[in-house]
Structure 1
Amino acid sequence: MRNAIPAKLKLEVTLRYLATGDSIHTLEALYRVGRSTISHFLPKVCEAIYKALKDYVRIPSHEDWKRIEHGFRTKWNFPGCVGALDGKHIFSTPTLEWKIIMDGDDNFLSTPEEISAAAQSVTENLLPTKSRRQYDKSYEKFMAWRLEHQTTSFSENVLLAYFKNLDEQFKPSSLWVEYSKLKSTLNIYHQTDISKYAKLLALLKRKSEGFKAKKAKTFSPEELKKFIEEAPDQNHLFNKVAVILGIMGACRRQELHDLKNNNIIDAQETLVVHIMNTKNRIDRTFTVTGKYYHICKKYMILSPDNCNDLNFFVRYANGKCFAQNIGLNTFGQLGKNVASYLGLLNPELYTGHCFRRTCATLLVDAGGDVTSLKRHGGWKSTTVAESYIDNSIASKKKCQIH
């Protein structure tokens, strides 16, 4: 059996790492200790040092941070700096509070703590709650690109160069998404309004010329009828119920996934379904009646008694429901599974958005107007609502001259 590495050697390696910033590869050669071994014991030794010297090694208080920052600001003209380490270059993303300090508060020490906290709280809530991480990720990516190219500007030329770089990685539709996220974050964090950059907008529009985004395919009424009537409940009851609610309610996959038992009310031969916390913050309500009510009711009866605290949709297999929530990706694959059962071409094109598009198409084919379409699907924009309508044969027939 090999002897354990002495505690003294572990301490020597750790102290050299902390003092010089040597890489683990260098430490391996100097001390003849394996890289994986060093990586394993370094954090443990640091923790032991902290425990032994906790009376001397401590996190500065809020007042300490302010005092240190004031010294760097007044003596060395480094505002926002609270420390320096020799031998290491440390890249970090500033917190929202420091962004507020650096971008708009010239006298940090005169700003009461409660005002800074209130400003930080407001700033954190300006971005969409559900997709805030995606917004910050795009912002951090842009800031890293600026650092790599050694620029501190947010000028139009900088943005043009950045989006020219993105053009090699993204489709035109994705470029617009990145633009939207940067427009919000730069406005919030740096008071920079890139919507006024005419050349940048012209670039994005030019890239979009001739581009046709792929859209989810839609099901015809005949295809839906065939699946609901012919697919065996033993294996497809969950799929049927999800299709019924997805199309009748123009539901996104996230909305089907988040549907709770208390969002559905059984009103005798009618199910009243409430869709809450939607992407565009517009709650919707729709009903399920007739034979579709009885299909949904069959699934509800099979739901275990201990599922009250779970989502409406739980795992279904071999004619039984189990007390286990269904993952989001299952709903994303639902359209593909239905298309595969029906033997349709390119089933992969029936994405998680196919039910929402199918609902919009069927509603318009049945004579619904744009107002009804927007109200039923919760769309705010007429243009967006109309983009969900597929070019079905029925809609083409309405345009013919008799």
Structure 2
Amino acid sequence: MELVTTAFIGSTPSVDTRPRVTVLAGFSAEATAAIGRSLLVTDRRLLLVSHDMRRVRDGVVRRTVRTADAVLEQEVVELVHGCVSCTLREDVLPTLLRLARQRPDSDILLALPPVIEPEAVAAACAHAGAGEQLRFDSYVTVVEAAGFLDDLASTEDLRDRDLHAADEDRRGVAEVVVRQVEYADTIVVWGHPQHDALDDARLTALLHRLAPWATHLRVGDTGRVDCTALAARLRRTGRHDPRTPGILGRALEGFPIGIDDPAGEHGANSVLFRSRRPFHPVRLHEALEDLTTEALRVRGQFWIASQPDTAIGWESAGGGVSLGTLGYWLAALPAERWPETSGLRRMAADVDWDPYYGDRRTVLALVGLNLDAEALTARLTECLLTDRELAEGFEAWPGWADPFAGFFPLTDEDDTAPA
């Protein structure tokens, strides 16, 4: 057999020489730091950037930059305002960009403090155009097996643990924990030598239902960590896609928001609820407490008959619920405004377009332990419009009593593509 080599004439693909950034997030600072140290020793050029935010409410953070061999920087930074967004804008991003210029041959590990959510980092980087100088390679969330379930089920606020980043920071512990998991493209469970096999299986099953799109691995169950093998699983994977929307924008953009697995395994299960019909505003309002109490996590999008132009985001964790506008449905906009949205959203709408509802639809994922899937589905179905109510039509619905009136304001300047 004769082997023939063909030469292709034309431009060769450019090599991406940007330093790669691996973002490490996690509510357990100790577990996140342990993963950071494990990766650092595998590459002497690798830089680890971390921020101590214990004094952030006073407008002060401490930044450390180090390699496996030495501390390169340790500086106290005074912020104009003490908050998460200010920390990202005034120090985290400038530090990453500066290091990319000064050490172009060094990749970077960015270890986030427990109160910073990875989606906030991605949004800040996109807004600042950081992708021109840096490649954000992967968003890794480290879960400490021993405390995760307690934190996920907690009804405490960050303020109750003196972890709030600003006086107006009202986030719940469970809210932060679950957002860290959901945005990750890679989840690392940090175990313990005295682990319980049944607890491990339940935690694994739950994490797969919270983030079915992520790569999952586990370390720490023995006294030794194979750092080289861990680095091969976590670094230079290219798992992060900057086009992937945040959790509330996933369904609008045609991405999955969960899996329908009522049976589940090891007690962890999930329910995916879909409907083209809108919710009745009064009945949904009355059901909110039951639904958010039953499930550890609810996320997704929905619409109510009394506000048919508005796509509404729903997320709840720790017993609290957050509802907010995601902008207009495309069906409520003139066609000339559709290019204001992303191509992915227009494509998703086109694939699933309904002659009557347009792109309006409810998609909710409910995740928990031993959820009564039939009861939850029935409760949500009861909140939908009946045939008689549906027959009244779009013109009549806005005149109904609405406990959500004024909650989801829309303006002509609204960006219809959620961040």
Larger Cα-atom Rg: 1
Same fold (TM > 0.5):
no
Higher share in strand: 2
Q: What's the TM-score, normalizing by structure 2?
A: 0.22
Flag the structure with higher helix content: 1
More relative contact order, 1 or 2 (CA 8 Å, 6+ apart)? 2
TM-score scaled by structure 1? 0.23
